[in-house]
Copies of this chain bind each other. A is one copy, B any other.
C-alpha cells in the first residue's frame, strides 16, 4: 500500500511514447504531488531532455534495478516491458500502474477506472492495470446505466484513431495522406492496409474465434470493471483515419425501461461524462473536438424501437488522455487520496 507523504517520487516508463508524453503533460497540468519525476525509455531515447515544471529531466535507460526509492511507476512501454520490469518494480516497493494489456485479466490485479470501480484499488498487490482505451470510455457510460436499469446486452462498434497504435501510426497516417494528395505511391509499415482515406476492421491480432484481441479486451475488461461476469457484450473494432479520439456506436438493451431523457439526465450527473446532445443544432461529439478534453462525451441518445428497452448512443473520448494517460494519473491520485 502507498505510504502517506507530502510528495511522491514518480517514474514514467515509456516516457517518449505517445502515452508517456501525455502522462508527463498531465502530471504537470494537474499539479501532481511529485517530489521528483524520473523518466525511463529504451536505449534509443537515452539522454533525451524533457521539460517538466520548469526543470529539465533526462530520459534514463530502463533497467530492473532502477525502481529503488520510487513510490509509483506509470508504465506505458508495451506488454513485453511490463511483463519484464513490473515485477522488479513491485519487489522494490514501487506501485506499478500499467497501461499494457498483460496484467489486466489477472485475477490478482485490479483493473480500474476511478469513477467506476475505485473500490477495486484496495485489493492491489503492487500492480494496478489501466484498461484499454476503448473500454474506459465505454464503461464510464455503461456504469450509470447498469446501476439504474441493469444492462442485458451491449452491441458496440468502434471508430478508433491511429494514436491508439502509437506515434509511428500517426506518422504513417500523415505520410500516407500527403502522398495520396500528391498522387505519390503510398507505403505501409504499421498497418497491413493503407489507413489514409480508408477504414480497417482490424485492431490488434485476430484470435481463433475470428474476433480481434481488441474486441476480446473490450468484452472481458468491461465485465471485470463492472463486476458482472455475465454481462453480454459483442464488439466490432475498426481503425479510422483520425489522429486522436475514439468514437463508439453503442446499442444497449436494459432490463428496466430507461427513456432517452432519463438516460441523458443520468449521464449528465455522472463523473467524467459530458452530455453533448442537441442534434438539431449539429451538437454531437466528434473526435476532432473531443481531442484534448478530459471528459468522455456522449450524444445522439435515442430510443432503439427494435426492442422493448433499447437505446442507441454515440460516445467519444480522447484515447490518449482519459483512454490512457489521464486514467493512469487518476489511479495514482486515488491511491494518494486513500493513503
Contacts and interface: CB of A to CB of B under 8 A. Distances in A.
A232 B253 CA distance: 14
A52 interface: no
Interface residues of A, number: 56
Interface string A168-179: 000001100110
A112 interface: no
Contacts of A337: none
Interface in A57-94: none
A150 to B, nearest CB: 15
A227 interface: no
Interface of A: 153-155, 157, 159, 173-174, 177-178, 181, 192-194, 197-202, 206, 209-211, 232-234, 236, 238, 240-243, 247, 249, 251, 260, 279-280, 282, 284, 286-289, 299-307, 310, 312, 314
Name the residue among A159, A177, A197, A260 with the largest chain B CB count within 10 angstroms: A197
B242 A201 contact: no
A154 B112 CA distance: 33
A200 B286 contact: yes
Contacts of A194: 288
Contacts of A249: 157, 201, 236, 238, 249
